């Protein structure tokens, strides 16, 4: 079994209407994470939610305003480097940071578990 490694988990909360330089914010965040060699990031679209304004974000017939959560995992140093960039990219939203432990799994190709 691989040893646990300390890491940070970032969760960004915003809506699919949010943009950065005309691009959907979640796409821009993923591109920035790849550019900075961040270990991993995943985008989740929620069914419904609300934040500070208590405005409900949900699917509408005319406009799309679903909640978006982007999860990012990496070392404390890389997260510390990333957070100010994300703050600059976001006009509104929430960034939650948690301490986590990760196990990296990377099996050689062609090796099967029994």
Provide the CATH number for the domain around residue 93. Answer: 3.30.70.120
Check: CB of residue 14 under 8 Å from CB of residue 107. Answer: no
| Higher-scoring residue by pLDDT: 63, 14 | 14
**Nearest-angstrom CA–CA distance, 70 and 106:** 23
pLDDT, one tens digit per residue, over 13-31 is: 999 999 999 999 999 999 9
Q: What does the pLDDT read at residue 114?
A: 57
| Residue 62: DSSP 8-state | S
Pure H helices in the chain: 25-35, 76-89
Q: Is residue 110 part of a domain?
A: no
Token readout for 13 is: 């909360």
The total number of structural domains that make up the chain: 1
Q: Is residue 87 part of a domain?
A: yes
SS3 64: strand
Q: What does the pLDDT read at residue 37?
A: 96
Q: Is residue 95 part of a domain?
A: yes
Q: Is residue 30 part of a domain?
A: yes
pLDDT, one tens digit per residue, over 80-92 is: 999 999 999 999 9
**Nearest-angstrom CA–CA distance, 4 and 73:** 14
């Amino acid at each position: 079994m691989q040893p646990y490694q300390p890491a940070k988990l970032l969760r960004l909360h915003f809506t699919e209407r949010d943009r950065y330089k005309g691009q959907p914010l979640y796409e821009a965040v993923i591109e920035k994470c790849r550019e900075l060699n961040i270990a991993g990031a995943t985008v989740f679209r929620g069914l419904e939610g609300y934040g500070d304004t208590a405005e409900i974000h949900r699917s509408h017939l005319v406009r799309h305003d679903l909640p978006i959560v982007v999860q990012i995992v990496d070392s404390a140093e890389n997260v510390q480097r990333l957070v100010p960039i994300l703050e600059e990219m976001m006009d509104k939203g929430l960034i939650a940071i948690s301490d986590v432990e990760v196990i990296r799994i990377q099996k050689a190709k062609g090796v099967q578990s029994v």
